[in-house]
A and B are shown apart, each in its own frame.
Chain A
Amino acid sequence: MKQSLHDAAVVGIGRTNYSRKSGRTPTSLAAEACRAALVDAGLTPADVDGFTCFDTGSSSASASAVAHAIGVDDLGWCLNVYGGGNIVTTTVMGAVTAVTSGQAEVVVAYRVLASNTRYGKNLGVIEVDGEHQFAGPHGYLVPPQWFAMFAQRHQHEYGSTSEDLGAIAIQERLHASRNPHAVGKDPITLDDYMNSRWIAEPFRLFDCCYEVDGAVAIVITTSDRAKDLPHPPVYVLGAADSNRDGGSVVQFSDMTTMFSAGTAPKLWKRTGLQASDIDVACMYDCFTFTVMATFEDFGFCEKGEVGDYFRAGRATFGGDVVVNPHGGLLSEGYIHGMNHHYEAVLQLRNEAGNRQVPNAQTALVTSGAGPFGGALIYGTAATL
């Protein structure tokens, strides 16, 4: 019998508080989020036989260690994925396919970040190998610089502006102001944005995500089992990925686009959907420009029109699609895109409270920036 994505569903979501400095270990944070997701799912650690997470190599909270920490004695399926935001879709889809292929029945997928991991600066480096050996010696080594390069080229070719990037930052902050869980809740004006300090020009402070300590977990099980659990199941309608130019932030051919130029056509083809079918767009937003490029690539608007789109209110409640109703990585907090999955599921369950997108049935969740990344579309039972 052919496996179907619809044979699995997301049945639980959990998270910790997000803070600048928790004073806690990655294992402690991850365990709390995983336990919360299982409680939400109406399951216990005894039900769990699969675990997965992703990491860039700086955390000690491996999937097996965290599973052990919450009392799981034996895992039939355990996958530690190496990567950052680019790999979230792959990690979640690994959990989905573990379930649909019968390798596991209940899988927990999580991401944790703690104060030992901050990506904006790297002041202790003494040696760099691989491709970065050509860039690091020039003081070019950290993500804000990489994606500011993309933004600069887009401004050159399409005339996009700081004000356009600011419109994204302002909108997401406004959304976060309705979200008690967000760390950046105070609305900002265009003046605030323009006057914020340079990080890597053309990026200012408010172009950059809000790095925090915290963890997010989701629970995936079979659709059969999901029927008896407390919340309406959320299904994956399709997923796609793109990895180009060796994952290089120097050699990536067209920096006015991102991975999404490759991911979007695959995803639309696999699902039979298009941008106008999406109710909630959780766009990976390590930086404002990531939203700009990926939003264009997914066909929500033409090249160079994102600023006008946001200023016209088309990316918020009452517009065409609500982009990052939780405030995204820019304002809710940087849990490397796993918090986008939490928000998408919350919205499709109609449990998002004062930021609920009315009658939300479909949610696009993108992950990654630059040369590599993926995306999936979640849907309610009504969309199957």
Chain B
Amino acid sequence: MSTTTEHTDAPASLPPQPAPDVDTQGFWEATANGRLAMCRCINPQCRLWMMPPLDACRKCAAPTNFEEVSGQGSVYTFVVQRQAAVSGYLDNLPYVVGIIELDEQPGLRLPGRIVDIIPEDVHCDMRVQAALEPLPGGDYVVPVFRVLH
């Protein structure tokens, strides 16, 4: 379970910012350096990818690190957000958020906006490619997804 830090005044104009911990900071360090990397077990007999990241593999308890991924995957599912529901997305509507299943491992999923497409053209199992974009607010770079040609 995670927590959110809120202030109760006016709606925030920036999107929610990540609050990394020691287990997740490798993801954000990679995106800041232009790479999309996911948490992976280093045990040669295991090599499990895992999300959310852990410092020890959930299958074999071996150490993990962050390894670059292709950024290619399929849209498992998605929503079209047409009303303001989350800070930072008050007037930039509609937008599409997908849950992307990455090619590296069945069930390895990453949420992200699907951009440069009209919502009506998005469909489940559509092939997509990740790209990295700065998150408004200054400190973080996030993956977004575009149709893979």
Contact = CB atoms under 8 A, between A and B. Distances in A.
A136 B86 contact: yes
A135 interface: yes
17 contacts: A123-B11, A124-B9, A127-B4, A127-B16, A128-B3, A132-B16, A133-B19, A138-B113, A140-B97, A140-B111, A145-B79, A149-B77, A152-B77, A157-B124, A200-B81, A201-B80, A251-B109
Interface string B68-112: 000000001111111111111110001101010000000101111
A128 B140 CA distance: 13
A144 to B, nearest CB: 7
B34 interface: no
B54 to A, nearest CB: 10
A150 B77 CA distance: 7
Contacts of B45: none
A132 B135 CA distance: 15
A23 interface: no
A120 interface: yes
Nearest to B108: A251
Interface string B20-56: 1100100100000000000000000000000110000
Contact of B52 (A120, A130, A136, A148): A130
B104 to A, nearest CB: 14
A251 B99 CA distance: 9
Nearest to A144: B85
Interface string A145-183: 100111011001100000000000000000000000000
Given A200-B79, A201-B79, 15 more contacts: A125-B4, A126-B6, A128-B16, A133-B18, A133-B24, A137-B16, A137-B18, A138-B111, A139-B85, A142-B85, A153-B124, A197-B82, A247-B1, A250-B99, A253-B107
Given A137-B17, A139-B95, A200-B79, A130 B87 contact: no
Contacts of B79: 140, 145, 148-149, 152, 200-203
Contacts, number: 179
Interface of B: 1-9, 11-12, 14-21, 24, 27, 51-52, 76-90, 94-95, 97, 99, 107, 109-113, 119, 123-125, 135, 140, 142, 144
Interface-central residue, B20, B88, B99, by most chain A CB under 10 Å: B99
A251 B38 CA distance: 14
Given A131-B52, A137-B18, A123 B1 contact: no
A61 B134 CA distance: 41
B102 to A, nearest CB: 12
Interface string A107-137: 0000000000000111111111111111111
Ranked 5 nearest A-B pairs via Cβ: A130-B2, A136-B16, A139-B89, A123-B11, A156-B124
A37 B76 CA distance: 46
Contacts of A82: 1
Contacts of A125: 4-6, 12, 16, 86-87
A144 B79 CA distance: 10
A127 B17 contact: yes
A128 B87 contact: no
Nearest to A201: B80
B6 to A, nearest CB: 4
B21 to A, nearest CB: 7
A139 B97 contact: yes
A130 B124 contact: no
A142 B79 CA distance: 12
Determine the interface band of chain A, counting residues with CB < 8 A from chain B.
35 or more
Contact of A145 (B12, B97, B107, B119): B97
A137 B140 contact: yes
Nearest to A146: B79
A258 B74 CA distance: 21
Interface string A203-236: 1000000000000000000000000000000000
Contact of A152 (B5, B78, B111): B78
Contacts of B16: 125-128, 132, 136-137, 141
Given A149-B79, A201-B119, A141 B86 contact: yes
Contacts of B99: 149, 250
Contacts of B27: 134
Contact of B21 (A121, A122, A129, A198): A129
A247 B88 CA distance: 26
Given A139-B81, A145-B79, A251-B51, A124 B123 contact: no
A129 B53 CA distance: 12
A127 B78 contact: no
Contacts of B87: 122-126
Given A135-B111, A140-B97, A128 B78 contact: no
A153 B87 CA distance: 26
B14 A200 contact: no
A150 B79 CA distance: 9
